[in-house]
Amino acid sequence: MPNQVVGGARGFLTRLGLAAIVAGAGLAGCAPMGTGMAAPSTARVDRLAALFVQAVPVGWMVDRVAARDTQWPFQKYPGRYTPTQLACTRGELTADKVSATQHADARAFARRYPDRVEESIQVLESGAAEAMGLLMRAGMGEAISGRKVDAGSVMRSLSAGQLRAFNELGEGTQHTELRQAMRIDELASGGSRAQTHQRGVRLGQSLLVGPMLSAMERCQVSPGTLFDKAGTLT
């Protein structure tokens, strides 16, 4: 197996930590753009969205972080919210509601690139989504438990076909726009362990900021309460 496949896959084990589940960055989606091609069916777009969620299981991660810390997502801001506000916000940040951001990303991608929906489904279904999701869940499990994951064991659980599809998604120039829609384009750019971890943090933030702000609005939590007097998020 090529070194870049193994190295890239192992890198995903450390790219998502608990910090990736704290909102704080802007969203960047695909703007609608007509191409003249007939739009793909709703069923195919829904399938693409499900693969986005499988590959980047942010909702799954949120569920586990919330179960571990009863004060999440306001654990850093004691005294700035009521128990009712906390309970309401947590109720709005379920896996299904958080994953809605990824469904919106998939729909935007399909509107802009209707001719690429089938090839995108193909590479994700051929093993890329399953491999990426497994590696991200392993990395998150390590971050939560503090117990180092046996990268070799995780790698051995993946087939050659899954790793080939994973590498194609991460390296193929034809999938650049797909990586952008999935918000994983920065993760494919390499760099040091610290740099890739920070990219993972930004990925988690970009997927969570929308649902987080919506939850705070519904639960009447002012975002201003989370900032100090200097206007810095504390």
Task: Give the integer Cα–Cα distance in Å for 64 and 105.
Answer: 23
Average confidence (pLDDT) over 188-212: 71
For residue 233, the SS3 value is strand
Mean of pLDDT over the chain = 79
Q: pTM to 2 decimals?
A: 0.77
- 42 φ, ψ (degrees, to nearest 5): -60, -40
Return the closest-CA partner of residue 165 out of 175, 157, 156: 175
- Note the pLDDT tens digit of each residue in 48-78: 999 999 999 989 988 988 998 999 999 988 8
Identify the residue with better confidence: 28 or 142.
Answer: 142
Task: Give the integer Cα–Cα distance in Å for 105 and 175.
Answer: 15
Q: Does residue 31 have a pLDDT over 60?
A: no
Nearest-10 Cα torsion for 204, 226, 76, 27: 0
Identify the residue with better confidence: 169 or 2.
Answer: 169
